[in-house]
Structure 1
């Protein structure tokens, strides 16, 4: 019988959550290192750990292996990522049946990255083209708690903020019980997004995603990929530490402390940290803040 207490939608209803996202290793030898990072952050009592879905078949196997190990050996609730790009409905169904039998309760359903030439000239085998389609399929056939992604500053492929918000709403209508945002560095962008979402009737929990700066180059690359804006005050600091990753990381910790503190004061239901398989920055942030997780 499925444990409904461990569904993220229900966890968020009882406490303000802290969660961490990891990605699978590229090979078997990297598994130990990832598990060590997860173990090092376990002392912060995360409400759940999310494991991303590998871009290729080889790393997808390690995604599943990591999910099962964290669930079974580390007594941590896991949110498994699942993307529909590159999968037939039969393949997706087989994955979901395995996860269901293994006791996975929570899934975040995503589209995944498109091939560089899109669908038109690709041999990619995909039954579903959108995350909303995958969400509907899971909701109609399984009892997982389903999460979805959202974009405070608009998805790079959306034609407008209104258009993007309609896709977020469709995900919820199709069965998503909570949303986790893409990274952002200006909290006002998140606050405006929440206000717009609520005005459109989106009532599910919206968990902000935070990525601490690790280097100037990496931050620019990630924001470029997801369409996030770098505010002028952060841009100046990135320029200052362009060739000094150690100082950039220290600055990133300070910046994230202020960012999370503001989000917590705003009353967010939780914070989801994009760890990038590195525990140092998140440890420093949480040691500094000592967040009260009681509901307000």
Structure 2
């Protein structure tokens, strides 16, 4: 997919890459399963708005503790049956036995859903750390190994450019990513980040450890700065001072906040494109407009032939 060095960051042209042509960039999108009928309608509007961009795949998340299992399956199945998009289902180790996860995976395979985003998962609400069930998987490596024994699933996994909050060190974190690759993962998708250098340095370190699967940058447009602060605290990500400064004083000004968010995400993606990145994964939060605008700025346009 890509290769890069930190020096590439300093060699940026000021001109947008998308001017006058459609880009070869590939994108994918993440959605979360709806909790209400109104949220279900909003999700479907988002799905249909982004479908013409011809994503490589789309994924649907799995709530903490497996709380959205049925809704995840419903959303994935509807995308599979009613759109041209290729859906991937998130599957975690939390809140289910090996037998239950095996049953879910088998149901996905038989219904034609053969791409799984395999994750350890967040601990259930009220618990600070992940604790494996006696009849469950100890972590994502064991989950991946089991899935590959069941069927030849395409498997995406998560990774942390700044280090997983439970990892003993950055080297141990990369070691675990290497184990996931060796177990059968075909791509990794990063947790969100804001400084392009963070991602490019992570790529260099991963390659040095023999990790050669595609590592796709996860892009999160800032729809709410307060939510970003909360998300970042939960997953150990740094919010740079420049981002804080950009959103100062506009938390209650939705229109300005949206314009700033589009600018930040577009510039982040432009820099990564210039560094050779060709695949991007967007955390949509079930909102289409910002993501659509950023994709447009990169030259990702509806396919006239579709």
Tell me if TM exceeds 0.5. Answer: yes
Give the TM-score normalised by structure 1: 0.88
Residue 179 of structure 2 corresponds to residue 170 of structure 1: yes
Task: Choose the corresponding residue for 1:86, options 95, 102, 112.
Answer: 95
1:160 counterpart residue number: 169
1:137 is matched with 146
Question: What corresponds to 1:52 in structure 2?
Answer: 61
Residue in 2 that maps onto 1:36: 45
- In 1, Cα distance between equivalents of 2:50 and 2:130: 39
CA–CA distance in 1 between the matches of 2:134 and 2:266?
43
2:255 to 227, 230, 246: 246
Q: Matched residue pairs, number?
A: 276
Aligned to 2:230: 221
Match of 2:109 among 85, 100, 106: 100
Q: CA RMSD in A?
A: 1.9
| Contact persistence 1:86–1:125 (CA under 8 A) | no
Q: Which residue of 2 aligns with 1:210?
A: 219
Q: Quote the residue 2:279 is aligned against.
A: 270
Give the superposition deviation at 1:24.
0.3
Stretches of structure 1 that go unaligned for 5 or more consecutive residues are 1-14
| Contact 1:85-1:126 within 8 A present in 2 as well | no
1:118-159 alpha-carbon deviations (Å, 9 max, x no partner)? 466x9x665112111101111122111111100000011112
Is 1:23–1:277's contact at 8 Å kept on the other side of the alignment?
A: yes
Q: Report the alpha carbon displacement of residue 200 of structure 1 after superposing the two structures with TM.
A: 0.4
Instruction: Name 1:198's counterpart in structure 2.
Output: 207
CA distance in 2 between counterparts of 1:176 and 1:85 reads 19
Q: How does 1:93-132 map to 2 (within 5 A)?
A: 93-115=102-124, 116=127, 118=129, 127-132=136-141
SS at match of 1:20: strand
CA deviations 1:25-50 (Å, max 9, x no partner) are 01345322211110011121111111
Shift in Å at residue 56 of structure 1?
A: 5.5
What CA distance in whole angstroms lies between the structure 1 residues aligned with 2:212 and 2:153?
A: 19
Structure 2 stretches lacking a partner, 5+ long: 1-23, 302-306
Query: Are residues 160 and 80 of structure 1, via their aligned partners in 2, closer, same or farther at CA, if it must alter by over 3 Å?
Result: same
